[in-house]
């Protein structure tokens, strides 16, 4: 999501990562995250396919859009949702209600400590990690196209 203060947001994220001693891949994308000097534990890219990346990480932090949330759920890893707008808040709450991510942190309430706490929970809560993995497996086993065709044929 776009950010009016991308440098401040980047610094906040880097401080939370340092506090939790986690490595990260930051997608600068529309948010305009930027930093000329990053710690060796952080790599920044402009863009990368979510489906490819999310399956290779311990947890994901994102804005909670439907597509990004779906990619996180499919990957089978906990999602930390930081909603900017209404439908994103819905998806953040849904992730939390399913037990596959910490409580969402509205962007206006995002702090270093809140993000650090969410990161820590997402990577150390083994029950949450297990639920995320199980849900991801179920989603990956679905044949969404065949199901959609069958529904259309039934009602058509």
The CATH number of the domain where 50 resides is what? 3.40.50.2000
119: in domain: yes
55: in domain: yes
What is the band of 156 on the pLDDT scale with cuts at 50, 70, 90? confident
The torsion angles phi and psi of 121, rounded to 5 degrees, stand at -65, -45
pLDDT, tens digit (0-9, with 9 covering 90-100), for 65-115: 999 999 999 999 999 999 998 899 999 999 999 999 999 999 999 999 999
99: in domain: yes
Cα 73 to Cα 115: distance, rounded to the nearest angstrom: 20
Q: State percent of the chain over pLDDT 70.
A: 92
43: in domain: yes
1: in domain: no
27: in domain: yes
Question: For residues 127 and 100, is the Cβ–Cβ distance under 8 A?
Answer: no
Please tell me the total count of domains within the chain: 1
44: in domain: yes
pLDDT score of 33 more than 70: no
Q: What local confidence, expressed as pLDDT, does residue 100 receive? A: 98
Domain extent for 77: 6-155
């Amino acid at each position: 999501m776009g950010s009016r203060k991308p440098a401040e947001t980047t610094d906040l994220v880097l401080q939370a990562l340092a506090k939790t001693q986690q490595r990260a891949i930051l997608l600068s994308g529309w948010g305009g995250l930027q930093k000329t000097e990053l710690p060796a534990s952080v790599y920044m890219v402009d863009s990368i396919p979510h489906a490819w990346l999310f399956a290779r990480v311990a947890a994901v932090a994102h804005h909670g859009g439907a597509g990004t949330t779906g990619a996180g759920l499919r990957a089978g890893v906990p999602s930390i949702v930081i909603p900017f707008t209404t439908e994103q808040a819905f998806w953040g709450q849904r992730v939390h209600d399913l037990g596959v991510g910490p409580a969402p942190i509205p962007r206006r309430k995002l702090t270093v400590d809140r993000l650090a706490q969410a990161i820590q929970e997402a990577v150390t809560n083994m029950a949450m990690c297990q639920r995320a993995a199980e849900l991801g497996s179920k989603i990956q086993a679905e044949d969404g196209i065949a199901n959609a065709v069958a529904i259309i044929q039934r009602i058509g």
